[in-house]
A and B are shown apart, each in its own frame.
Chain A
């Protein structure tokens, strides 16, 4: 027990120190200075993106994709940043920057994340949520912890994936067995370390246990439901084959009627096809 908790403390320290990881891609490393600065202004963040052509392309592709669904075309970074706001842009930057890592760590995780973002936005829209983009970006990065764990200890993460496959258990259970923690917990450490807003921290931390959310209950519940729907559709791969446990209270809080659920699912389908083009 004692060694267990001190190992966990070590793992947490290691994860919070991700900036110094030798394998971290250069773009992410520069990005972290921007993300964890709580006082960064709209124009500073625009300049940062605009100075990196690859990042600019990725951001523009993403904001013009079905993940956001703005009418018309957004052609400049500054326009995107003004429309989305600093917090959403931070999440978005992280999402597009870990794209390659997602592809590398778990084939299908990027598709799962995009799909979850699309469904989360459709549900948010259906529920009349004021900032559907914020819910969407929460969907995009909800499984960030998987990438972080993989990045820290790739061999062990691969073992967890094999374990999930072989024993037909959830990836979260396999992570618990191999790391003594889960991607949700790891995601919460990193999101807090990077000064993410509550509306992003809580869905990352609690998307499998939405009853624990205190400050972003509806967003967290929507991401929980979107995760279920996109897995039910069989789009992308999140590390295991079966559906995760449903939280009935969160499901009821989102409160989609059968008709709304049908509508969200049929609206989702053509958008998913469009995201297949979104290789960034």
Chain B
């Protein structure tokens, strides 16, 4: 488990660099530091399963399907949402 972003203290100083490997010892140490939290790699993926995400998209566009501009938006948004599931 690695840091997705540098960890800074309240003054904005970097305490731990991005990509630092998190060990139990390090996490214990972080508790004693003046920090608000940390971003961990790989945990920030989409919150919902893919088919739920895509059926939500269908529902949202259900009432407006024959407006050409929104059809473009829908196609691009569908590609985008599918792309969220491609890595990691």
Q: Identify which of B17-25, B27-35, B60-68 touches chain A.
A: B60-68
The reply to whether the CB of A265 lies closer than 8 angstroms to some CB of chain B is yes
Residues of A179-209 whose CB lies within 8 A of B: none
Say yes or no: B60 contacts A261, CB within 8 Å: no
Using a CB–CB cutoff of 8 Å, the interface residues on chain B facing chain A are: 12, 37, 44, 53, 56-57, 59-64, 67, 69-70, 72-74, 76-77, 79-81, 83-84
**What's the count of A-B pairs with C-beta under 8 Å?**
60
Say yes or no: A262 contacts B73, CB within 8 Å: no
Say yes or no: A265 contacts B60, CB within 8 Å: no
Instruction: Tell me the interface secondary structure of chain B in the complex.
Output: helix
Chain B residue numbers with a CB within 8 Å of A75 are 12
Chain B residue numbers with a CB within 8 Å of A245 are 64
With A243-B70, A251-B69, A273-B44 as contacts: A233 and B77 at CB distance below 8 Å? yes
Task: Provide the bound-state CA to CA distance between A280 and B64, in Å.
Answer: 35
Count of chain A residues with Cβ under 8 Å from any Cβ of B? 24
Task: Provide the bound-state CA to CA distance between A186 and B72, in Å.
Answer: 32
Chain B residue numbers with a CB within 8 Å of A252 are 69
**Taking the nearest CB of chain B, how far is it from the CB of A96, in angstroms?**
17
Chain B residue numbers with a CB within 8 Å of A52 are none
Residues of A245-280 whose CB lies within 8 A of B: 245-246, 248, 251-252, 258, 261-262, 265-266, 269, 273, 277
**A-B pairs, 8 with minimum CB distance:** A242-B63, A232-B77, A73-B12, A265-B80, A251-B69, A234-B56, A243-B64, A273-B44
Residues of A138-169 whose CB lies within 8 A of B: none
The reply to whether the CB of A117 lies closer than 8 angstroms to some CB of chain B is no
Which of B44, B57, B64, B83 is close to A246, meaning CB atoms less than 8 Å apart?
B64
Say yes or no: B72 contacts A258, CB within 8 Å: yes
Complex: chain A residue closest to B57, CB-CB: A234
Chain A residue numbers with a CB within 8 Å of B77 are 229, 232-233, 265
Chain B residue numbers with a CB within 8 Å of A258 are 72, 76
A12-46, CB under 8 A of B: which get 1 and which 0?
00000000000000000000000000000000000
The reply to whether the CB of A112 lies closer than 8 angstroms to some CB of chain B is no
Chain A residue numbers with a CB within 8 Å of B59 are 241-242
The reply to whether the CB of A218 lies closer than 8 angstroms to some CB of chain B is no
Say yes or no: B84 contacts A241, CB within 8 Å: no
Say yes or no: B73 contacts A261, CB within 8 Å: yes
With A75-B12, A269-B80 as contacts: A242 and B62 at CB distance below 8 Å? yes
Chain A residue numbers with a CB within 8 Å of B60 are 231-232, 234, 241-243
